[in-house]
Amino acid sequence: MWPSLIAKAKAGGLDVIQTLVFWNLHEPQFDQFDFSGRRDIVRFIKEVQAQGLYVSLRIGPFIQGEWAYGGLPIWLRDVPDIVFRSDNEPFKYHMWRFTTKIVKMMKSEKLFASQGGPIILSQIENEYQLVEAAFGEKGPPYVKWAATMAVRLQTGVPWVMCKQSDAPDPVINACNGRRCGQTFVGPNSPNKPAIWTENWTSFYQVYGGKPDMRSAEDIAYQAALFVAKKGSYVNYYMYHGGTNFGRTASKYVLTSYYDQAPLDEYGLIRQPKWGHLKELHAAIKLCLKPLLSGVHSTFHLGQLQEAYVFKGNSEECAAFLVNNDNERNATVHYENSTYELPPESVSILPDCKIVAFNTAKVGTEYTTRSMKADQNLDSPDKWEEYKESIPNFDKTSWRANTLLEQMSATKDKSDYLWYTFRFQHESLDTGFVLKVNSLAHVLHAFVNGKFIGSAHGSHSNLFFALEKNVSLINGTNHVSLLSVMAGLPDSGSFLERRVTGLRRVRILNKNDVEDFTNYKWGYQVGLSGEKLNIYTEQGSSNIQWRRFGNSNHQRLTWYKTQFDAPKGNDPVALNLGSMGKGEAWVNGQSIGRYWVSFLTSEGSPSQTWYNVPRSFLNPKGNLLVLLEEENGNPLGISVDTVSITRVCGRVTSSYPPPVISWLGQNQTRSHKKKHGRRTKVQLRCPQRRKISKILFASFGTPFGGDCENYGFGRCHSSNSRTVVEKACIGRRTCSIPLSSKYFGGDPCPGIPKALLVDAICA
């Protein structure tokens, strides 16, 4: 997918691709490195270079990024006397070793800009100032050491530290967040540029949480404001987030990552974000000469309005007119002209005269993404199942006299750790309560092989308890507790000390409490199906599967079937809306954890569809294996295709024409007209699709600013649909100017016009 994603980013007006370096992906075991396949960072950077773009390489090597353990390899926990991210010799040694490894790889391939390569920036550490105080006197020396260590590697390009206001010279302090256009106080030295390493296009989502939406207008406003204040670099986090395949997501984070980005999880263009930012980029590049070499000045245009002006030699001039009022329009006067500024917006004037772009006026189309079922996997005859065995104390070989910390026990080899114990009960009483306190994420409890209940925490409530009534038998009772992690922590200080897993276990009745916390426990890391590689072709063939539904229902069941790849080239997703919680594999590749049963406050799953890249698929007979922890029903699963099915555009007479039509201030009016510098609605279907139907068209005063809940206004041209259908039906792209002449006359003279068109792509 890399070439097409990079190409779409370039088409969106980007100059630089920024990427993190995942230490735990590249060195999963000490001194055993892996740069193969999807881990081939050199190949990725060379692909970016081949398409003519630059690279910003965020080595970290702590990266956070909602990635398991913040990118740190789990084996670091076992290094004696280590304290992560502090003035600690063991940690500094391993950080230096890995950073040096990456830099040497880049140098050997001549990938730094100083060698003629694409890498123009590198990052060391990540948002350290947020946790620095926790390390006391060990914090500041670590910052200085990290900066010095990085600079001594002599890459020939600058290093940055994000969210580190005191980044030591010559390392550049950079901003992260939504509002760096307003909040960034600037570089800590006059010879450093203003850099914004993370302009959040939405936000990561957690199970039980709703999507965090951020408008194209707000992203563009902050980016334009940052540039107006002499900002040199703006990176969108994320421009494409993609998928947390396998178990790479951090605690409670969805498998889908930043799906609301300009390129969505599947790599489809998400409008209007992609197009509105493309217009912004084009407008800024029209200002290039004065931005780079002009004199910068600021003028007040009102109480909450400002002009940021760049004047170069001769007539080179660019102006950014800003309305900081988030509620009211503003009329401002600049250079003998009057300009209308919507609330919280920036107008860009590449010649200090004509508005090429306003951040609040979205002239780009809006698109609708649809999921279409290609195959319903609803035939019981095509499914097989394998029941996971429930181990008891006698079947375990690892013993300890206390509750073990889960990450230290599993070494991140599995999300699952069985805690088991047995005890004698000799009493006529049978009614008891099992109470378990946990710092893991999910708990499934079994007593004498029978399921008695589950409980789970949340991203905002890490500590949870299970409290269930249990019936005991006279004699030996077996308790088996399956503790589950839905991702490792990725942030905060002293990650090496972070405690997970079960913390206290008690059995109560009305007369007595028996505490089993410090007791003889038996442990099993992982599930038997995991150890058998049941999700691979070979492992699956070694298992005695049963026909679906042949035995009593039980938690922890593996399901297997096959499906064919949908025809065509549209992205593919599994609809797991009928499932509960678990993990899914296609042809041995994990497409990630799912947790459909964890509902939002509105009662809907946080994620229902799970991305299956076409490169994972064979034309026929693809093996699908799921581990279901709960009561999910695989007969409700479908194989869906993902596509853009609707395009909609709206412009008004106050909108600037598309930036691409800009010809500069010295062109004659007739020349401009000849080249079509007019406000227009532009619709574009994806490749291999054409506009098949016009759902709505109105030239006049239609309402519905964001192409939702639209309708006819008091003024409407009766020719609207006919004119639009003639221009668009049967075409992949079409352009309709906002022009009374084009629609055969003015339906309401003297009233500002708008044009809204909604169409089907098929």
Q: How many residues make up the chain in this entry?
A: 762
Buried b / exposed e across 377-404, counting CB within 10 Å, b at 16+?
beeeeebbbbbbebbbbeebeeeeeebb
SS3 per residue for 493-512: CCHHHCCCCEEEEEEECCCC
Tell me how far apart the alpha carbons of residues 648 and 650 are, in angstroms, rounded to a whole number.
7
Tell me how far apart the alpha carbons of residues 365 and 420 are, in angstroms, rounded to a whole number.
58
- Calculate the CA dihedral of residues 437, 440, 441, 447 and round it to 10 degrees: -50
Map residue 562 onto helix, strand or coil.
strand
433 close to 548: Cβ distance less than 8 angstroms: no
- Beta bridge partners of residue 516, listed in sequence order: none
DSSP string, 187-235: -SSTTS-EEEEEEESS---BTTPPP----HHHHHHHHHHHHHTTEEEEE
Q: How many CB atoms lie within 10 A of CB 515?
A: 12
> Which residue in 66, 125, 127, 388 is the catalytic one?
127
Write out the E strands in 206-350: 231-237, 295-300, 305-311, 317-323, 330-334, 337-341, 345-349
Nearest by Cα to 431 from 468, 472, 392, 399 = 472
Q: Kind and range of the H or E element at 138? A: none
668 close to 646: Cβ distance less than 8 angstroms: no
Nearest by Cα to 482 from 449, 508, 531 = 449
- Of the chain, the end-to-end C-alpha distance in Å amounts to 24
Query: Is 132 known to be catalytic?
Result: no
Map residue 20 onto helix, strand or coil.
strand
At which residue do the structure tokens 């530290």 appear? 161
Query: Is 725 known to be catalytic?
Result: no
**CA distances to 212, 406, 442, 485 from 415, in Å:** 27, 9, 10, 5
Tell me how far apart the alpha carbons of residues 555 and 450 are, in angstroms, rounded to a whole number.
10
**CA distances to 189, 400, 421, 519 from 403, in Å:** 52, 7, 11, 8
Tell me how far apart the alpha carbons of residues 514 and 426 are, in angstroms, rounded to a whole number.
14
Q: What is the CA radius of gyration of the chain?
A: 30
Nearest by Cα to 437 from 408, 466, 407 = 466
- Beta bridge partners of residue 307, listed in sequence order: 299, 321
Tell me how far apart the alpha carbons of residues 503 and 347 are, in angstroms, rounded to a whole number.
57
> Which residue in 198, 316, 388, 583 is the catalytic one?
198
| Catalytic site positions | 127, 198
